[in-house]
Amino acid sequence: MTRILHWTDMHMRRQLPGTAKDPSRLSRNVPALLERLEVKILSHSPDVLVLSGDLLDVPASVINGNSPDERPLSDWLNDVRSDLNFIKEWLSAVGVPFVVVPGNNDDEKSFAEVFSGYRFSNDIAGLRFYCFWDRLSAEQQPIRDKVNAALFQEAISGEEHECAQVHVQHYMIHPPVFAKNKHYQYTTAVDLKKSIHQSGRVLAVLSGHYHPGTLVEGRVLHSGAPAFCEKPFSYRVYDLDEQLPARVKTCILDN
């Protein structure tokens, strides 16, 4: 059995100035929330930590290569790297192996610089974790590009990868969700789900992006954890075993 502790969508701003546009996203509270989460992590004794995107709340203009104010873009990017390094150092200090992917509110280039070596696949605690760095289309629906599609195909069909897997990405495959006038699942979600189930290799698909969270239990666990930056500051704990259904517990910091 492997125990995973999963949280997502922190939308943190520590060195980055300001806060998220949505007032429910408590960006500036996140460093203190992480201190409280560390205590919870130690109490659960997980084998792996999974953080599925939107670590930071980077302004869209910065991600698109423009400064949103009078400061030069380079200052904003230095703040981004500073905040990512803070998270990486915190994760390393906790002392539990971790898996991390970017979300649509992270600057991918900065993310790749700070979290080099955490892309593609990692073998941890008897499971193979596949990390998919996917993006949104112009219509704001998740898409899987050629690089990530090739990684996915390799995972589910390559002979050398016939092992128990967990797939981690920011966006959801299942269930389909339409909210705020947009689709939260991949454009190819039906085919991705079918391929995952037919492979017989994937125990869980872990994601974020949709802040209320989703959960579909079955032969394959599809779990989109609720946003950690919003009250009541939730995370999930999974016990995974190839021979048994996944055991899932949704927890909050104050419990």
pLDDT of residue 253: 93
* DSSP conformational letter for 224: E
Give the residue from 209, 176, 204, 216 showing the smallest Cα distance to 5.
204
pLDDT digits (tens, 9 = 90+) for 31-89: 999 999 999 999 999 999 999 999 999 999 999 999 999 999 999 999 999 999 999 99
Query: What pLDDT digit, counting tens, does each position of 157-185 carry?
Result: 988 888 999 999 999 999 999 998 999 99
Buried b (16+ CB within 10 A) or exposed e, 63-79: beeeeeeeeeeeebbeb
Integer CA distances (angstroms), 184 to 1, 96, 136, 187, in order: 31, 30, 10, 9
Place of tokens 């900065």: 110
- Domain ranges for the chain: 2-252
Structure tokens at 97: 């192996």
Q: What is the pLDDT of residues 12-35, one digit of tens each?
A: 999 999 999 999 999 999 999 999
Tokens of 101: 């992917």
Mean pLDDT in residue range 4-13:
98
Q: Compute how many other C-beta atoms are within 10 angstroms of the C-beta atom of residue 12.
A: 30
What percent of the chain stands above pLDDT 90?
Answer: 93
Place of tokens 């008897």: 126
Taking 70 as the threshold, does the pLDDT of residue 235 lie above it?
Answer: yes
How far from each other are the two terminal CA atoms of the chain, in whole angstroms? Answer: 24
Task: Give the per-residue pLDDT at 243.
Answer: 85
- Tell me the one-letter amino acid at 150: A
More confident call, 159 vs 220 = 220
Is the pLDDT reported for residue 255 higher than 70?
no
**How is domain 2-252 classified at the architecture level of CATH?**
4-Layer Sandwich (3.60)
As a whole number, mean pLDDT of residues 223-234 equals: 98
**pLDDT value for 111:** 98
What lies within 8 Å, CB to CB, of 181 at 6+ separation is none
Q: Using CA atoms, how far apart are residues 241 and 37, in angstroms rounded to an integer?
A: 25
Using only C-alpha atoms, the chain has a radius of gyration, in whole angstroms, of: 17
Average pLDDT, the chain: 96
pTM score, two decimals?
0.96
Helices (H) and strands (E) in the chain, counts: 6, 15
Q: What is the pLDDT of residue 158?
A: 87
Average pLDDT over residues 243-249: 92
Contact between 159 and 78 (Cβ < 8 Å): no
